[in-house]
Structure 1
Amino acid sequence: MRILPFALAALVGAVSGTVLPWQTPAHAVDHGQVGEAWPVVESDLLDVIRAKLESAKASGKLDELNARFAQKVKARVMRPAPVGGISAAIEDRSWEFDPTVVIESDIRDHKGKLIAAAGQRINPLDKISMTQKLLFIDGDDPAQVSWAMAQGDDLRTKVIMVKGSPFDLMKANQRRFYFDQAGSLTAKFGIEHTPASVEQKGRILIVTEDALRQGKGA
């Protein structure tokens, strides 16, 4: 669009605030006070929240929100979020895991007595034996559940799920099931596929991913 010289000048004048020759200078005029004036006061945030809660309570919406929240929490407890990045094993795989840790700084008891020095290497298996075999499964896969049940009872094994509902399996199998919350254990052991097991062998742990085949693991 073409802007004529006088239009361009008017535009510049409007932006810059200058008065062009053909413009009439504006003069400030005191018209007095019109109406009543009040100071600007911001509402206290807590008062605003409290008022909204009271309003929601009076309308019944608060009870509805509480019910929805309780239902979501119950659903998450009954069926935790699946551990990401875990799939069914398609080949057998096994490796060693050394649980030895290096102490970063001195550890002392409440009397100041040194328990472990910085730089010291400690293997928990030197003091405590792992009496239960850890079994990691997809609880939604019947074959993996059957594999876990065939490995032994609660005294011999601890079944840890990466997917599914522990409560449903507890009810169906009358034994305890656990869940790898946020995938902390599978990440620690490097497990990427299920079913998998972790068991002690001397001063190390043996981690195994087991590819299920017909008749295997039963």
Structure 2
Amino acid sequence: MVRLRSALIYAAVICSVAQAYGSTDFAAQESAAIENFKDVLDGIKTNTDKQVDFVLKTEDLSFAKTPLMPDSNSVDPVPVDHDRTYQVFVSWSLGEAEIKNLIKEYHDNREVELVFRGIPDGLTLQDALAKVQRLSLETKSNTPVLINPVLFEESQIETVPQVRKVVGKQTLYVVSGTTSVQAADEQYQKDKVSRPKAIGPGLRIAERDLIEVLKERLAKVNFSELKDKALRRFWSNQVFAELSPATTSRVRKLDPSVVVPQDITGVDGSLIHKAGDRINPLDIRPFTQRLVIIDPSYEKQINFAKAQIENYGDKQNVVIILSEVDRQKGWDGFTEVQNKVGRAVYILKDDVRTRFSIDFTPSVVTAADRSFYIEEVAGESLP
């Protein structure tokens, strides 16, 4: 399981091997596991990007900070929001074999989680998570592995390994030079301070701070260019109705009633509607709009829309809908039509076209006497 904790840029992998991964073909196991986590990994990237963007705009990391070490001048406990009692700070500088041993050692230990500061150079976040996932699959371990640079910063972790213990909502100690929570507990019992004497030597942290890496990557993104490309793609990807101009003026009546196929009952068992009842949605909610569907490539139809607004705008909500837009003009053409009619316009969607059987332009949809009326106006009738 991969998770992203709110208020922290935080990636976690709890790697368990389900029966579905029981094959001895490791490559197949890894492929299945990565595919299984694909959506969640995408979610991590999206949420992380949003948080980094927030940091860049506000230059404020306070939303992600919770003091982890007790303040000697404060009598109040320092709040720490963690599910696990022990965090073992690690790095790939310890070696893959050591990381693998730790994942295996703390299998089924609900008090311990491993914490990395970032991802190895040259790897994406997904690849880094997959690397840990591979070790977890090999060891069949469910030990949680986190990527949480905020914990490193606030615990002042400059070397690895180190062990931090949290009791209740307060950090009890941080012991360096060990990956053993038992050894860390014993050292704390000897020294009785929040920073006991180091048990062993420390190694440099191979990974850079994930937040800093993401900020650098984000700074290289040309958002203006991405926005322009997205806007250009919008019109090329649009599917328009491409309706023909009406050649004959006519008005069609549409009864929106539906027949209830089976009894509908409330939670208390009372009958709301019995099978065979006819329900007219206009009895439930009146339709007050006046939908005017036009093809803006015809100037007469634009003038028709303006006249509809002028004649009915005081009584009804006149909504102007375009059957298509000049792809070459794109947003400029769309804005040009809005300026001509003097209000916002919309693109005709297939569900609206189908619901009212819109086949020609211009068409006007209104409702009266429990029915919809679709009026088609021939071009020769337009002013």
Q: Give the TM-score of the pair, scaled to structure 1.
A: 0.59
CA–CA separation in structure 2 for the residues paired with 1:132 and 1:69: 37
- When Rg is computed on C-alpha atoms for both structures, the one with the higher figure is 1
Q: 1:170 aligns with which of 338, 342, 364?
A: 338
2:321 corresponds to 1:160:
yes
1:74-121 per-position Cα deviation (integer Å, ceiling 9, x unaligned): 346578724335122222233221111112334344555433233211
1:148 aligns to what SS in structure 2? helix
Among 359, 366, 370, the residue aligned to 1:199: 366
Q: Which of these residues, 86, 101, 104, is aligned with residue 243 of structure 2?
A: 86
Q: Aligned partners of 1:70, 1:167: CA distance in 2, in Å?
A: 18
Instruction: Say whether the 8 Å CA contact 2:257–2:278 is kept in structure 1.
Output: yes
Q: How far off its partner does 1:127 sit? A: 3.7
Matches within 5 A, 1:19-168: 42=27, 50=126, 63=221, 70-75=227-232, 81-152=238-309, 153=313, 156=316, 157-164=318-325, 166-168=334-336
8 Å CA contact retained: 1:196, 1:210: yes
Structure 1 residues not aligned, in runs of 5+: 1-39, 52-57
Instruction: Measure the CA separation in 2 of the matches of 1:49 and 1:154.
Output: 56
Report the counterpart of residue 25 of structure 1 in structure 2. Answer: none
How many residue pairs get aligned? The number is: 173
Distance of aligned partners of 1:198 and 1:59 in 2 relative to their CA distance in 1, 3 Å threshold: closer
More displaced 10-residue stretch of structure 1: 203-212 or 101-110: 101-110
Contact residue 79 and residue 166 of structure 1 kept, 8 A: no
8 Å contact 2:338–2:344 — kept in the other structure? yes
TM-score (norm: length of structure 2) = 0.37
Could you say what the CA RMSD is over the residues aligned between the two structures, in angstroms?
4.0
Q: Greater relative contact order (Cα 8 A, min sep 6): structure 1 or 2? A: 1
What is the identity percentage for the equivalent residue pairs of Structure 1 and Structure 2? Answer: 26
For 1:90 and 1:115, the matched residues in 2 are separated by 46
Q: Shift of residue 68 of structure 1? A: 6.8
Secondary structure of the equivalent of 1:150? helix
Which one is further off, 104-113 or 159-168? 104-113
Q: 1:83 to 1:92 in 2, by over 3 A?
A: same
Greater percentage in helix = 2
Partner deviation per Cα, 1:164-197 (whole Å, 9 max, x = no partner) = 265443344431322222x211222222110011
In the TM superposition, what is the alpha-carbon distance from 1:140 to its structure 2 partner?
A: 3.2
